[in-house]
Amino acid sequence: EAQVTQNPRYLITVTGKKLTVTCSQNMNHEYMSWYRQDPGLGLRQIYYSMNVEVTDKGDVPEGYKVSRKEKRNFPLILESPSPNQTSLYFCASSSPNPGRSSGANVLTFGAGSRLTVL
Amino acid sequence: AQSVAQPEDQVNVAEGNPLTVKCTYSVSGNPYLFWYVQYPNRGLQFLLKYITGDNLVKGSYGFEAEFNKSQTSFHLKKPSALVSDSALYFCAVHTNFNKFYFGSGTKLNVKP
């Protein structure tokens, strides 16, 4: 089954303790991206990647890092989490890269990772 | 600044009645427009998109959306609502710079 898999689905951590949320897709998608969902704000893009070793900032990148060493994986790293990073996080992928053809652009989302930072 | 607005936090409609969920956008260039739906404890699912062409776009589950360039709107519609349509709906815009912008979401409640 074609899917985007995120782990963990739920996590409670403390301020300053580094954590990584993994994201993996099995559709050979080039484009991958991370979002956070907060009440009243909708989804905001954190980072995106056009392909292996190519990443760029979205709208709210502060406090986050990403890497794209393999095409299928796009982990989100919080080096020193803070309470304002408590949120619901979604990974999504798409192929080919958005904008290249009319058949593209549709994002496939993971089920979400609910993160609480105390 | 790029933005997407969904002016209604919640829309209530009776089953069988038509529904409209509103979306307006403010982005530079010619954006691609999308609607996604989110059911409880699930990720977002694609409903429909507008790239170019006819202003009325048909999508999944009987939903359609009307693109209006002069009003920069992309309202989601369905002629006859079902209770199972109750969910959170997001309008989204994709820009030329490979960024996506989402609205704040509208909760649709369809009552029997």
The reply to whether residue A97 touches residue B105, judged by beta carbons under 8 angstroms, is no
The list of chain A residues with pLDDT below 70 reads 96-104
Query: Is the minimum CB–CB distance between B40 and chain A shorter than 8 Å?
Result: no
Decide: A4 and A110 in contact? Cβ < 8 Å. yes
pLDDT for residue B97: 67
Quick check: helix, strand or coil at residue B7? coil
pLDDT for residue B87: 96
pLDDT for residue A103: 47
Residues B57-99: tens digit of each pLDDT: 999 899 999 999 899 999 999 999 999 999 999 999 987 667 8
Residues B30-66: tens digit of each pLDDT: 788 999 999 988 889 999 999 878 889 999 899 999 9
pLDDT for residue B31: 81
Closest residue in chain B to residue A9, using alpha carbons only: B41
Residue B10 pLDDT more than 50?
yes
Q: Please count the CA atoms within 13 angstroms of the CA of A13 that sit on its side-chain side.
A: 23
Interface A-B, measured as beta-carbon pairs within 8 A, has a size of 72
Residues B21-30: tens digit of each pLDDT: 999 999 877 7
Helical ranges in B4-111 per DSSP H: none
pLDDT for residue B81: 97
Instruction: Give chain A as a 3 state SS string.
Output: CCCEEEECCEEEECCCCCEEEEEEECCCCCEEEEEEEECCCEEEEEEEEEECCEEEECCCCCCCEECCCCCCECCEEECCCCHHHCEEEEEEEECCCCCCCCCCCCCEECCCEEEEEC
Query: Is the minimum CB–CB distance between A61 and chain B shorter than 8 Å?
Result: no
- Grade residue B2 by pLDDT with cuts at 50, 70 and 90: confident
pLDDT for residue A95: 76
**C-alpha distances in Å from residue B73, one per residue of A45, A61, B22:** 21, 28, 8
pLDDT for residue B40: 86
Burial B29-45 (b: 16+ CB within 10 A, else e): eebbbbbbbbeeeebbb
Query: Is the minimum CB–CB distance between A81 and chain B shorter than 8 Å?
Result: no
Task: Name the E strands within chain B.
Answer: 3-5, 10-14, 19-21, 24-26, 32-38, 44-50, 56-58, 64-68, 73-78, 87-94, 100-102, 106-111
pLDDT for residue A99: 57
